[in-house]
Structure 1
């Protein structure tokens, strides 16, 4: 339901988080599907505390010492590198960093039967979480695989550049084809 403007303003002044909805029909005062959203002050404080805890955990995980690094300056641009932390080698996971800042991670896809696929997943960082980056069609592991990249460095390139879905493969990639 859409609230009257004076009530919205009073609730906002009392510390409530008010996200206004919009009326479907301008003559209608209520919107049963997309009304105003209210969050109480105590709930907002609880969410802030949860987000801060998640961010601290995320930062602590990223701060673990690196045991192996690979320079991607020739393929991407100066400052880009892949780094592995303790325990990442068994999971075939690499952090994608640019001048010391982590931008994402790439790892081999782990199947249900606990074997690794030859395809690579790319995850970019947004806040205290990693989100999967879809593979562009020219770099996909298989034609119908929307989330597996065909190579580790290509997945890192995807995190670094966030290309459009129909973008061509980068010039430094090689794809060998069998000739008949």
Structure 2
């Protein structure tokens, strides 16, 4: 028996357009999810990551708060905290963009009850299915950076964990590394 999704993608997009600024909605694997509005430390982490990446990969930009079409058939809708993509990648696209030009998704955990399922399980799976080469999770609960990479047949085949304070290696096509010592100051 095939399980019917909670709602259709079109219904979700309509709801998301009218949800206001106090919550962010996501639609992964046929289920509606609510993502907490980022706190100040969350924003600082994304800003800091941009500072690490942009001097090393100047031909790209770290776009923040991007709404993505994800999952194998682009039926999911997720908001990424940041995506590394060539300048101009999303020109002419609507609210929900095609992930094809994206090299890296950056996600920072929130302090809410859904972060385990959403940020650690469903989003990496959906990004792998969409063929995004690297998913970087800044996990404030565990104090580590987790790099998911090398998607193959919709699954990331490599997962590497780095405690805050260690050097993170982002594999090709990103191909950069940086020290994560400052991340220790942005966790509770």
Q: Taking structure 1 as the reference length, what is the TM-score of the superposition?
A: 0.29
* Higher RCO, Cα 8 Å, sep 6+: 2
Q: Larger strand proportion, structure 1 or 2? A: 2
Give the number of the structure whose alpha-carbon radius of gyration is greater: 1
